[in-house]
Chain A
Amino acid sequence: MSMLPLVALVGNPNAGKSALFNALTGARQKLGNYPGVTVERKAGRLALSDGRPVELVDLPGTYSLDPTSPDEQVTRDVVLGKQEGEKRPDALVIVVDASNLDNHLRFTLELIALGLPTVVALNMVDLATRDGLELDANILSRELGVPVISTVAVRKRGLDHLRQELDGLMNGAPAPYTARPAGDFDTTRNEARRIARAAIVRETPSRRLTAAVDRMLLHPVIGFVILLALLFVMFQAVFSWASAPADMLEGWVTALGEAVTNTLPPGIVHDFLLQGVVGGVGAVIVFLPQILILFFFILMLEATGYMARAAFIMDSLMARVGLSGRAFIPLLSSFACAVPGIMATRTISDPKDRLTTILIAPLMTCSARLPVYGLIISAFIPARTVGWGVGLQGLVMFLLYVFGIVGALVAAWALRLTVTKGESSGFLMEMPKYQWPRPQDLLIGLWQRAVIFLKRAGTIILFTNIVLWVLMSFPKAPDGVRQSEYSIAGRIAGGIHLLVEPIGFNRDISLALLPTMAAREVAVSAIATVYAIDAADDVEALDKGLGERLQGRWSLATALAFLAWFVFAPQCISTIAVTRRETAGWKWTGFMIGYLFVLAYAAAGITYWTAVALGLG
Chain B
Amino acid sequence: MRLTDLPLRQPAYVDMIDWSALTPSEGQRLREYGLCEGASVEALHHGGFLGKGPIACKVGRMTIAMRRNHAAAVTVRTGPDTGAQDEPA
Q: What CA separation (Å) do A141 and B65 show in the bound complex?
A: 32
Q: What CA separation (Å) do A100 and B63 show in the bound complex?
A: 10
Contact string against A for B residues 29-71, beta-carbon threshold 8 Å, 1 for contact and 0 otherwise: 1111110100000001111111111101010111111110110
**Which residues of B are found within 8 Å of A193, using beta-carbon distances?**
86, 88
Is B65 touching A63 in the complex (CB atoms < 8 A)? no
**Which residues of A are found within 8 Å of B64, using beta-carbon distances?**
428-431
Is B61 touching A99 in the complex (CB atoms < 8 A)? yes
Is B44 touching A211 in the complex (CB atoms < 8 A)? yes
Q: Please judge, given known A-B contacts A191-B88, A312-B56, A315-B54, whether A426 and B26 are in contact too, CB under 8 Å.
A: yes
**Which residues of A are found within 8 Å of B62, using beta-carbon distances?**
100, 103, 430
Is B70 touching A426 in the complex (CB atoms < 8 A)? yes
Contact string against B for A residues 290-327, beta-carbon threshold 8 Å, 1 for contact and 0 otherwise: 00000000000000000010011101100100000100
Q: What CA separation (Å) do A221 and B51 show in the bound complex?
A: 11
Q: Does A218 count as interface, using CB distance less than 8 angstroms? A: yes
Is B61 touching A102 in the complex (CB atoms < 8 A)? yes
**Which residues of A are found within 8 Å of B82, using beta-carbon distances?**
none
Q: Does A243 count as interface, using CB distance less than 8 angstroms? A: no
Taking CB atoms and an 8 Å cut-off, the chain A residues in 188-242 that contact chain B are 189-191, 193-194, 210-211, 214-215, 218-221, 223
Q: What CA separation (Å) do A98 and B49 show in the bound complex?
A: 35
Q: Please judge, given known A-B contacts A102-B60, A185-B31, A215-B45, whether A428 and B88 are in contact too, CB under 8 Å.
A: no
**Which residues of B are found within 8 Å of A106, using beta-carbon distances?**
32
A194: nearest residue on chain B (CB-CB)? B88
**Which residues of B are found within 8 Å of A427, using beta-carbon distances?**
54, 65-67
Interface residues on B, range: 35 or more
Q: Please judge, given known A-B contacts A102-B61, A315-B67, whether A218 and B45 are in contact too, CB under 8 Å.
A: yes
Return A69 CB to nearest CB of chain B, in Å. 9
Q: What CA separation (Å) do A191 and B89 show in the bound complex?
A: 11
Q: Please judge, given known A-B contacts A220-B49, A315-B54, A316-B53, whether A190 and B65 are in contact too, CB under 8 Å.
A: no
Is A214 touching B26 in the complex (CB atoms < 8 A)? no
Q: What CA separation (Å) do A503 and B29 show in the bound complex?
A: 50
A429: nearest residue on chain B (CB-CB)? B65
Is A428 touching B53 in the complex (CB atoms < 8 A)? no
Q: What CA separation (Å) do A215 and B45 show in the bound complex?
A: 7
Return A9 CB to nearest CB of chain B, in Å. 19
Return B51 CB to nearest CB of chain A, in Å. 7
* One of A68, A103, A211, A215 near B28 (C-beta < 8 A): A68
Q: Please judge, given known A-B contacts A102-B61, A214-B44, A312-B65, whether A431 and B56 are in contact too, CB under 8 Å.
A: yes
* One of B25, B63, B86 near A210 (C-beta < 8 A): B63
A218: nearest residue on chain B (CB-CB)? B45
Is A428 touching B66 in the complex (CB atoms < 8 A)? yes
**Which residues of B are found within 8 Å of A430, using beta-carbon distances?**
33, 62-65
Return A207 CB to nearest CB of chain B, in Å. 14
Is B47 touching A316 in the complex (CB atoms < 8 A)? yes
Q: What CA separation (Å) do A184 and B51 show in the bound complex?
A: 37
| B interface, CB within 8 angstroms of A | 25-26, 28-34, 36, 44-54, 56, 58, 60-67, 69-70, 86-88
Beyond the given A103-B33, A214-B56, A319-B53, could you list 7 further A-B residue pairs with CB under 8 A, ordered by the A residue number?
A: A99-B61, A102-B61, A218-B47, A325-B54, A427-B54, A427-B65, A427-B67
18 CB-based A-B contacts, threshold 8 Å: A63-B32, A68-B25, A100-B60, A101-B61, A102-B61, A106-B32, A186-B36, A189-B34, A211-B63, A218-B47, A218-B56, A220-B47, A221-B49, A316-B47, A316-B54, A325-B65, A428-B30, A431-B65
